[in-house]
Chain A
Amino acid sequence: MQHPLSRRTYLDGVRAAAPIGVAAFAFGLSFGVLARSAGMGRVAPVVMSATTFAGSAQFAVASILGAGGGLVTAIVAAVLLNLRYGPIGLSAASAFEGPWWKRAVLAQLVVDESWAIAQRDEGRIDRHLLVGAGLLLLVCWTTGTAIGAFAGDLVADPESLGLDAAFPALFLTLLWTQVRERSRLLAALGGAAIALVLMPFTGPGVPIVAASLACLIGARRSS
């Protein structure tokens, strides 16, 4: 982010994601342990991490199934949590090129963290940073899940290490570089306000999707 004009490589994406990869690995580990104790077995959690690749939705499925909450409830909760990838995918769309299948495959590497790390100025996404960061996070998350599901807990609870605080800090850092322009600051404040207002009333997932409406500030101001 210090050299906005220089060309980024996949390796830059891997490097940029390394610190958050540690947190993803630790939470993968605890997802593997939780999923197994929730009766999901050993293989299913690993398959889920490699294909769904979305932490909060996977934790929701494991805890709902584990608590006997029912299949439909678990699926609805997970899909609601992942609906944010609709607007996030729209914002990342310009980073992809080539045939439809290539776009669809690379889009699977979009997670909150890889998308955040790949942010460039003016709302652009750097494809190399996105793919490098996404691949590293996928490996960390899936490896962590496998070790957790097959070998059990090897490290302390990630929350006692403060690793859950790493995620909002990551998003704040990338937001920080984005809000020098007034209209973008207004979009950020609007998004935060919508999320804060909705959080007590809706299930998790909905506030983030609704917050994307704050981007309309941009359409109004640029006209």
Chain B
Amino acid sequence: MSAVWISVVVVGLATVAIKAAGPLLLARHTPPPRAQAALEHLAPALLAALVVTQALGGDNGGFTVDARLAGLAAAAAALLLRAPLLLVITVAAVTAALVRLIA
């Protein structure tokens, strides 16, 4: 098997296993209240980390400040004006595209 297919199969199997782990682990029993409370706080913690890494992450780790940050600022402004999801995403993309066009 070529290196390409080995990577496709190994990464595929590992990802399937990682994705299935949580739902299988918590299938049998309800976690105790404190653990449940922690689980309910996973979403804001992970969403915030995704905002930061997707807006500032570089290709090989570290920070890259580029038009994405302008897009994110425009998205925040749209959210303050109570714009719906579709509009927020569009505003972010258009802003980033314009910044790249000008810069």
In the bound assembly, the distance between CA atoms of A195 and B15 in angstroms comes to 22
Q: Tell me whether A89 and B19 are in contact (CB under 8 A).
A: yes
In the bound complex, do residue A168 and residue B10 qualify as a contact, i.e. CB atoms below 8 Å apart?
no
Q: How far is the CB of B16 from chain A (nearest CB, A)?
A: 6
Taking A82-B15, A169-B92 as known contacts, 13 extra A-B pairs with beta carbons closer than 8 A to each other, sorted by chain A number, are A16-B85, A63-B59, A85-B22, A87-B42, A89-B18, A103-B23, A107-B19, A168-B55, A169-B71, A173-B75, A202-B61, A204-B60, A218-B41
Distance of A115 from chain B, by nearest CB (Å) = 8
State A222–B54 Cα separation when bound (angstroms). Answer: 30
Q: When the two chains form their complex, are residues B35 and A219 in contact, meaning their CB atoms are under 8 A apart?
A: yes
> Are B11 and A48 touching (Cβ within 8 A)?
yes
Interface: A139 (CB within 8 A): no
- Cβ B7 vs Cβ A191 within 8 A: no
CA A185 to CA B53, docked complex, whole Å: 18
Q: How far is the CA of A106 from the CA of B47 in the complex (A)?
A: 21
Is A61 an interface residue when CB atoms closer than 8 A count as contact?
yes
Do residues A196 and B52 form an inter-chain contact, with CB atoms below 8 A?
A: yes
**In the complex where A94-B26, A172-B75, A192-B51 touch, is A208 in contact with B38 (Cβ < 8 A)?**
no
Contact A162 B96 (CB under 8 A): yes
CA distance A189 to B45 in the complex (A): 7
Contacts of B81 in A (CB 8 A): none
Is B89 within 8 A of A75, CB to CB? no
Chain A CB within 10 Å, residue with most, of B15, B46, B72, B88: B46
B5, B55, B93: which contacts A161 (Cβ < 8 A)? B93
Main secondary structure, interface of A, reads helix
Chain A residues near B10 (CB, 8 Å)? Answer: 75
The answer to the question of A112 belonging to the interface, with a C-beta cut-off of 8 Å to chain B, is yes
Residues of chain B contacted by A107 (CB below 8 angstroms): 19-20, 22-24
- Interface size of B by CB at 8 A reads 75
A104 pairs with B72, CB closer than 8 A: no
**Which listed residue, B22, B44, B92, B96, touches A89 by the CB 8 Å rule?**
B22
Do residues B7 and A162 form an inter-chain contact, with CB atoms below 8 A?
no
Within 8 A of B (CB), among A184-199: 184-185, 187-192, 194-196, 199
Known: A54-B15, A93-B22. A214 touches B41 (CB 8 A): yes
Q: Does B3 contact A (CB under 8 A)?
A: yes
Q: A65-B4, A195-B52, A223-B34 are in contact. Are A178 and B44 (CB under 8 A)?
A: yes
Give CA–CA (A161, B100) in the complex, Å: 9
Do residues A91 and B11 form an inter-chain contact, with CB atoms below 8 A?
no
State which of A1, A71, A204, A208 has its C-beta within 8 Å of the C-beta of B46: A208
- B1-41 at interface with A (beta carbon < 8 Å): 3-8, 10-12, 14-16, 18-27, 33-35, 37-41
Q: Quick one: given A159-B100, A168-B54, A219-B37, are A211 and B61 in contact (CB under 8 Å)? A: no
